[in-house]
Structure 1
């Protein structure tokens, strides 16, 4: 199945237009305005008496949004986590430090902090700052991931400068169950179970997952000096143990629908340090607990009332040699609530939401800190030309602690002819400094209570084709990031965060996803390409006009698969061009080219039992590095045995 609804990039080859324009879409990417079929409970009750909550992030449903929906079932049995799935989308860069280790996401040249990461619509970004660690989301829970590129503060508030990532967990389905076990290279093991129960008016899903890895592998050390030969080394103190549990369900009552979920996840990471500065005694333990509930009820024919409440607890303990070797403890909490009205009649709709919350952080060197957030959002949509055109403005006024700001966006799309459409959007978002940046003393890093919010202003436009053979899109984008927070030397061995950076980012994005072709053994293909041109506009003279570190100009992901329900095989390649390790662009990380392959065989049909094989870095390149110069594993082999009813692939 095609996996994206819209995107942007260089011009798609002309022959695609003829192939994709050959009739109405039998196989389409998910329409951002309508929930997928697997989320329906009982159609009459859902539509008339109890409308389900939006299954996409609200930003994904907006007119003109640059959205890619990564369907996890397309990668059935491949042991791909959130980071690996996100890497298949254009505009996305992943900082993945290896099996079981921390992984963060960047979109369109943003930092990890400037991307809002959601789990079933609930924000995971914390008051402590830093990007969300994707490795803490058990991969077996993922049903799909919605990637919304661009400034999206209107619908998701402070922190969505680069975009929004919404990880949607497994749907609640009565009578379903699944379980699996994976074993592979570098002492890697995973296991998971899930089961659903319920009736016409209620449903419940429970799931648990765990994984462990020694993370020990051999690699070729590169000290970034051209005259120095590569040296064989072992990556040690690189293990991890992760796990979690999930319970979610729905209840039709009181003329509406209540959806609720509880999630606990986290674990232990060894912190090996940089190759030239190992840290054999460093480690990190982190846990996260989430609670959410949302009730939706129609008020007549045109209005729907919604109300929600959320809660989150975060715990982090870490031992870092560079901060004196003591154990650092952080405890965070957040609560929130919202109430909204959705009005829809004829070609127009309007959504008004009032929300508020409180977040607290208790950390060594900080003490207890707390701040509240209050916000009001109004977003609408008007369709015309018999529904072929959509325009949607939106604005959000928000106050967090002592900071106040406005986010705004205007987007639209037009169906030009047949499967060809055009979309465009422009907007502004900002990110409020974290409590850590403002108040937390961290060894050599001093806080700065005078920090201002970062801001991003940007826009994009794209052409998209959506026909019975698949989907394709191509377009351009630009973003100006202002008042970026960077760390500068305040005195000998002391750093302070300051709003002393400004950057321009321009680029092109393209993606293609074809439907399986039965006459060619079920052949399907996918491609995502990003060209990113970044420029530092403020700072030291040696850094002005240079590219931003850890932002390669080119990223290409391509995939092809054959087969059907009984057996399948696939291959994929990923190319990442050279990127700079420092702001002065004097130390570089070489380009990387990796090949992966795998396949699955169905052993029994009822219940479904499948054996899956996945091979990453097939060519066993042991000189690969992440964006920080850390080594990445060589050839990795993962074998998965999976059972379930009904047969829904690997997940």
Structure 2
């Protein structure tokens, strides 16, 4: 056991988890969030509540998420402001989303992913566990941007995203869809409440041949949530399981990317992989008194991934085998001390046991071992937070979070072990202030620190490194104004900046799993967004985020990169849409789009800019009966020929995105 393990655990568990009383709910007019779609309100705990976070918070309603025809759950984040989607289009490694000037390449994963409040990133911060959720099972998606939220430490560099699945109720909801390229999907969601017991079950299966050659996949997910009401306490159980398999079409060169977009080279003929996922949790929410509430969750995550990939003809095929086991505890205590004061103390600990193995292969035949890593990592943290309302128009939220890291690493290729970096206690002060000068107008500002540590073997002292590598400290500021006019208008404008010291950038194709020092960085930008609920069923929304991410002080080995833009970060990200769903009517329709400007391919800024796109989606639905609806969805309406592009050190490589595609669905709700 490492010298930091017990101290890291103690920090987190010294403050058990919490739920708050219904009377603690913040006034919606005084919050800083914006909601797209409808959210079904259930009796959720106020412990670790997003409602107490005074920063840029956006919520995607379950009604919007449930009717989308997407290959991957991460694509749903296209509807939310300021989100960059990175679409690799490579089998089980399909893509991911990112925010606040960070890219989705996988070198720096800056978003804490949660499913029903359960941590769901892998060791490096990737989001493989998002495949456990099918759209029909989603109740809402909550996206928190910025550095002022104390609830999470590890991976919450730029913010967090919580996918909240449906809870409670008695219902049966099914959706069958089919579309282009042999795509077919079946989703079922069911809920039942009998006495003190409620249960919610979900099933999802999707398969497709894919737009490109050698791009077929199939994926299955199962989940169950059970909740027992014991009066002053509620006991819950969550179980999720998923598995999938996919072929990988590989990347195209400059010569072929714009002439034969569907092509897959012969070198990728045996590329592909399988992935099996699991998530299991036990939860407890209790209210021992009128003014005190607490919650506690224990969970286990499993990730088993086996991938064969060859990025180009100039490199050999690799087999990448990953087996991760995570065990954790999350908790908090919430105290409504006075009408003007609420306090919360919480924490979390995660114990990881990770195996990462790689081989060079020839058509899946092993040639030589290049990696065999056995890693144990423990990250524990705790926080305290107060919510003070000394005046009706003033709200002040100071908070402080502390984290510690421990672990052990053994390189099983040579049998040598290495110690974890001594990061000490990672201190993260936070402060948020909100002022409501008049009804419906909230001005807010916040400050906070977050941290980044090395991923995999990068968290340890491995030669040629002979001393500890300090964590990269991110320091962020935000100032904004939120305007609310009844139910018909919500708008928000925000300016933000986030700087980092000694940012660590993973070498994704390095057999040893090492990293580069990107240097001191600065990300800054502004966000504009508005949502309008008109009469006769009309609604509209729009957002624009302008951002720039630069290397302020580069690593001494790359002085020429000073002032350069960080790769794969578009300067502009936008989304807008129009919905029509008259109350009591049979028809509904929507037209919406999202897009981004181009980005640099490398920190050297020497390969040109790529990645610009605008994608429009049109949808129409018709209610045949009260229970049965048919719908059509046309994605990439303008047939925009966009792509993901990266540079492998010798050439640019392209992954064309899907063209215009049509999908039809039948949904039955009882």
Task: Tell me the TM-score normalized by structure 2.
Answer: 0.80
Number of residue pairs matched by the alignment: 576
Change (3 A) 1:464 1:338: closer
Q: Is the 8 A contact 2:55 2:148 kept in 1?
A: no
Match of 1:15 in 2: none
Contact 2:111/2:161 (<8 A) preserved = yes
Unaligned 5+ residue runs, structure 2?
A: 1-26, 254-264, 358-370, 407-419, 647-653
Query: Which aligned pairs between 1:408-557 and structure 2 lie closer than 5 A?
Result: 408-438=429-459, 451-468=469-486, 469-486=488-505, 496-518=514-536, 522-537=537-552, 538-539=554-555, 540-557=558-575
Paired residue secondary structure (1:85): helix
Q: 1:153 Cα deviation (Å)?
A: 6.2
Instruction: Compute the displacement of 1:63 (Å).
Output: 4.1
**Which residue in the other structure is 1:195 paired with?**
190
Aligned position for 1:398: 403
Matched with 1:311 is 300
> In 1, Cα distance between the equivalents of 2:237 and 2:565?
45
CA distance in 1, matches of 2:90, 2:669: 26
Q: Distance in 2 between matches of 1:194 and 1:99?
A: 29
Q: Is the 8 A contact 2:57 2:145 kept in 1?
A: yes
Residue 336 of structure 1 deviates from its aligned partner by: 1.5
Separation in 1 of the partners of 2:289 and 2:28?
34
Q: Match for 1:208 among 203, 207, 210?
A: 203
Over 3 Å counting, the alpha-carbon distance change for 1:384 and 1:430 in structure 2 is same
Distance 1:489 1:105 in 2: 17
Deviation string, structure 1 residues 604-650 (Cα, Å, up to 9, x no partner): 11xx11111110111223x31125442101101111111012xxxxx
- Helix, strand or coil: the match of 2:624? strand
Distance 1:105 1:602, change over 3 A: same
Question: Which residue in the other structure is 1:139 paired with?
Answer: 135
Q: Deviations over 1:42-85 (max 9, x none)?
A: xxxxxxxxxx4349xx3723342210001131355232453333
Specify the alignment match of 1:228 in structure 2: none
- Is 538-547 or 184-193 further displaced after alignment? 538-547
- In structure 2, the residue matched to 1:372 is 378
User: Taking structure 1 as reference, are residues 470 and 84 closer, same or farther at Cα in structure 2, changes over 3 Å only?
Assistant: farther
Distance 1:571 1:98, change over 3 A: farther
Q: Counterpart in 1 of 2:76?
A: 85
Q: 1:577 aligns with which of 592, 597, 604?
A: 597
Q: Which residue of 2 aligns with 1:43?
A: none
- Whether contact under 8 Å (1:178, 1:642) holds in the other structure is yes
Higher relative contact order (CA 8 A, sep 6+): 1
The 3-state SS of whatever aligns with 1:161 is coil
Q: Is the 8 A contact 2:523 2:548 kept in 1?
A: yes
- Cα offsets for 1:464-520 (capped at 9, x unmatched): 1112212111111000022212357999x98841334222111010111111411xx
Partner of 1:336: 328
The Cα of 1:355 is off from its aligned counterpart by 3.4
- 1:318–1:76: structure 2 CA closer, same or farther, 3 Å change rule? closer
1:286 Cα deviation from its structure 2 partner: 1.5
Query: Equivalent residue for 2:161?
Result: 165
Check if 1:115 corresponds to 2:139.
Answer: no
In the aligned structure 1, how far is the partner of 2:516 from the partner of 2:91? 33
Secondary structure, in 3 states, of the residue corresponding to 1:437? helix
Counterparts of 1:265 and 1:152 in 2: how far apart (Å)? 33
Are 2:377 and 1:359 equivalent residues in the alignment? Answer: no
CA displacement, residues 347-393 of structure 1 (integer Å, 9 cap, x when unaligned): 1111112433311112323343212233221111111323x322111
- CA distance in 2: counterparts of 1:546 and 1:118, whole angstroms: 33
Q: What is residue 232 of structure 1 aligned with on the other side?
A: none
Of the three residues 337, 340, 345, the one matched with 1:347 is: 340
Determine if contact 1:459/1:477 at 8 Å carries over to the other structure: yes
Cα distance between partner residues in 2 of 1:296 and 1:585 = 51
| Corresponding residue number in structure 1 for 2:610 | 589
Q: Residues of 2 paired with 1:92 and 1:376: CA distance?
A: 28
Q: Which residue of 1 aligns with 2:20?
A: none
CA distance in 2, matches of 1:490, 1:563: 48
- Which of residues 226, 230, 237 in structure 2 aligns to 1:253? 230
Q: Secondary structure at the match of 1:74?
A: helix
Q: Which residue of 1 aligns with 2:388?
A: 382
The alpha carbon displacement at 1:446 in A equals 11
Indicate the SS of the match to 1:517.
Answer: coil
In structure 2, the residue matched to 1:49 is none
Equivalent residue for 1:18?
none
State how far apart, in whole Å, the 1-side matches of 2:544 and 2:509 are.
Answer: 40
Q: 1:129 to 1:71 in 2, by over 3 A?
A: closer
Are the aligned partners of 1:373 and 1:400 in contact in 2 as well (CA < 8 Å)?
yes
Answer whether contact 1:407 1:429 (CA < 8 A) is retained.
Answer: yes
Q: Is the 8 A contact 1:100 1:241 kept in 2?
A: no
Runs of 5+ consecutive residues of structure 1 not aligned to the other structure = 1-23, 41-51, 217-234, 646-651
Residues 303-332 of structure 1 show CA distances to partners (whole Å, capped at 9, x for unaligned) of 223222111111111113368535332211
Aligned to 1:47: none
The answer to whether the Cα contact below 8 Å between 1:202 and 1:252 also exists between their aligned partners in 2 is yes
Q: Structure 1 residues 343, 610: closer, same or farther in 2, change over 3 A?
A: same
**CA distance in structure 2 between the aligned counterparts of 1:337 and 1:580, rounded to whole angstroms:** 40
Matched, 1:269 2:253: no
Deviation, structure 1 residue 135: 4.7
Give, in whole Å, the separation in 1 of the partners of 2:669 and 2:216.
30
